[in-house]
Amino acid sequence: MPMRVKIWGVRGSIPTPGETTLRYGGNTPCVQVEIPPSENEKDSGYVVFDAGTGIRNLGNEVVKACPNGQLLRFYLFFTHLHWDHIQGLPFFSPLYRERTQIEVYGPDSSDLEGLLKNQMNPDYFPVTMDDDTVRAQIRFHLLSAEPVRIGPLTVRHHYVNHGPVGTAAGFRADSEEGSFVYIPDIEPYDYSAGLARSPHPEHREGEEKLIEFVRNADVMLFDTMFTEEDYPRHIGWGHSPAKYAVEVAAEAGVKRLGLFHYAPLREDSDIDHLTAVLEESGNKKGVEVFASREGMVIEIEGKYPDVGGD
């Protein structure tokens, strides 16, 4: 069976509901990789990257389709703990369901378990994670050098340039069918204020490690928060000019590049224009470019995948 990736949230920083974001969506980051059905219960479940507001719809759909007595298992990977990547977790309905197991993975730069639980502190939210109504079994795992193997998937991480060193990661899921890379937040290692490349060896080393991590991926979702025009005003904010995503994909031999983590001010028409510009640039470099949107399903079969919606 092909690897299936479903996008539940594409927006960066803050949810943006409204008429101008209907086509691409206003929920913050959440992406699911489906695991093919297996007779071995330990090899089944849902692999989810980030718990932005998009995870609410994911949880509601899964619970609605699943009988009450059936075991649900989630493998939830956090790239980092900025608000837009965690704010959907208290509204994730499987948290409040019996016969649910949630394996949480993420960096421990500032106490993974403590910060996620503190988001549901009574000062912020009426129900704590230790409340009796939270019936799911939750276990926390710190990211380590060992990959996480879940059925046919192998999930690895790579720390990226977003905030202090070791606080934010990108993920890669590989199977016999293909490979998927998810890097929603990253800033170029070697851009200066004038968008000129820096020859500094430390910068180049970071870039080379990034390129090796994403090399030959079938599909990659990558931070395209800023345009080339507005990036110089936001250097150090931890995000990329969209042009950088195409450069990384081309250098690494990535087949398809999905634009992701749209800035709150980016309306549907802006994304249309950005996509057209980057499609042209990508075609010249041998990379197919597409705009991520909520509800999009990507099938990966070791070749150029089909992209659809539901």
**Is 36 domain-assigned?**
yes
Residue 251 lies in a domain: yes
pLDDT value for 235:
87
**Please, what is the average pLDDT of the chain?**
91
- Amino acid identity at 144: S
HSE at residue 179, side-chain half, CA atoms within 13 A, is: 17
What would the pLDDT profile of 100-124 be if each residue is shown by its tens digit?
999 999 998 779 999 999 999 999 9
> Is 214 inside any structural domain?
yes
First to last CA, the chain: 19
With a CB cutoff of 8 Å and minimum separation 6, the contacts of 208 are: none
Q: From the CB of residue 213, how many other CB atoms can be counted at a distance below 10 Å?
A: 19
Closest of 34, 64, 10, 24 to residue 178, by C-alpha:
34
| CA 114 vs CA 7, 89, 118, 149, 256: distances in Å | 27, 14, 6, 25, 37
Residue 123 belongs to a domain: yes
Q: Which domain holds residue 248?
A: 3-305
* Torsion sign, CA atoms 268, 283, 207, 215: positive
CATH label of the domain that carries residue 116: 3.60.15.10
Task: Select from 208, 166, 169, 209 the least CA-distant residue to 186.
Answer: 169
What pLDDT is recorded for position 202? 62
Q: What is the pLDDT of residue 198?
A: 52
CA 125, CA 240: separation in Å to the nearest integer?
Answer: 32
Phi, psi of 285, deg, nearest 5: -105, 5
Give the whole-angstrom CA distance, residue 167 versus residue 174. Answer: 23
Number of domains into which the chain is organized: 1
Write out residues in the chain with pLDDT < 50, as ranges: 193-196, 199, 304-305, 309-310
Indicate whether 33 belongs to any domain: yes
Note whether residue 310 is domain-resident. no
Q: Return the axis-axis angle of helices 201-214 and 242-252, rounded to nearest 10°.
A: 70
CA 34 – CA 255 distance, rounded (Å): 20
